[in-house]
Structure 1
Amino acid sequence: MGFSISNAALRLVSGAFILNTGIGKLNLPADHAAGLQESAQRAIPQLTHLTPDQFGKYLSYSEIGLGAFVLAPFVPTRLAGLALAAFSGGLIATYLKTPGMTHPGSIRPTPAGTAMAKDFWLAGIAVALIFHHTKRTPES
């Protein structure tokens, strides 16, 4: 297992972005948390059992944890990719299930959906991290 500049770049960009997003949500107002929770409930119905304050705190903590996890150099690349895939899968599910985000019968974003559609790049990074192939050299 060696160092890969391409993997480091992918992990740095995605991990720092998610970490920063989580830090920005540490003091999330209840009305903003309620709006995010309403969207997220379309993909994960169990979130209805949380109060908006709980949801905001858990979302913030989980984004901070995931961002730090992806950035940590001791975490295997594939494991970081799998964690990122689970997170981005939730974002994509929310995007696809939220009315008005896509054009009818399409996954193309509407102007209202463009901000959420950008999260597809996280899924692309996750796939790249999971399936990165390293060349094996014969043992001498």
Structure 2
Amino acid sequence: MSFRPSHIPLRLITGAFILNSGLGKTALDEGTAGFMQSMASKGFPQASQLEPAQFGKILAASEIAVGSALLAPFIPSKLAGLGLLAFSAGLMTMYFRTPEMTEDDGIRPTQDGITLAKDSWMVAIALALIIDGKKKRK
């Protein structure tokens, strides 16, 4: 199993943050779920095909699953990192596909884009877990 003591702060803080976010979304009202769905559909048009309540439940379950995987010490860091990478890449896709989130250069965040742009740290943590999780062959 690939779990190193240096992974503990990466997994603990990120996992707790994402798990808390997911638990907070378990009781979304229709309006909040609809707003989140409209934001997500800018990056992923398929999200608009769901009912807002259904989207909210899927979003909450996804965050709970990723957060829990990061917190579970029996899940290898590489696998937890891959889950985090999929999750955070989705956020970054939404950021880059939503024109009002970035300046004219398409990279730097506008005031509205800072909320998603700051989530780029999760991509870095995921990559660190994946790369550092590889075992050296003798």
Q: What TM-score do you get using the length of structure 2 for normalisation?
A: 0.91
* Shift in Å, 1:42: 2.3
Amino acid at match of 1:90: G
Q: CA deviation at 1:26?
A: 1.1
Could you tell me whether the CA contact under 8 Å between 2:19 and 2:67 is conserved in 1?
Answer: yes
Q: Deviations over 1:17-75 (max 9, x none)?
A: 10000011111111111111111112222212210011011111111111111111111
**Equivalent residue number for residue 125 of structure 1:** 125
Aligned to 1:86: 86
Report the CA distance between 1:136 and its aligned residue. 5.5
Give the counterpart letter for 2:19 in structure 1: L
Tell me the equivalent position of 1:24: 24
1:79-119 Cα offsets, whole Å, 9 max, x none, are 00001000000000001111311101231111111111111
Question: Structure 1: which 5+ residue stretches go unaligned?
Answer: none
| Partners of 2:18 and 2:64 within 8 A in 1 | yes
Q: Say whether residues 1:103 and 2:96 are aligned partners.
A: no
Q: Say how many residue pairs are matched.
A: 138
Task: Give the aligned CA root-mean-square deviation in angstroms.
Answer: 1.8
- 1-side partners of 2:106 and 2:133: how far apart? 33
Amino acid corresponding to residue 47 of structure 1 in structure 2: A
- Structure number with greater Rg is 1
What is the TM-score normalised by the length of structure 1?
0.90
- The farther-off stretch of 99-108 and 122-131 is 99-108
Identity %: 49
1:1-140 matches, within 5 Å, as 1=1, 3-132=3-132
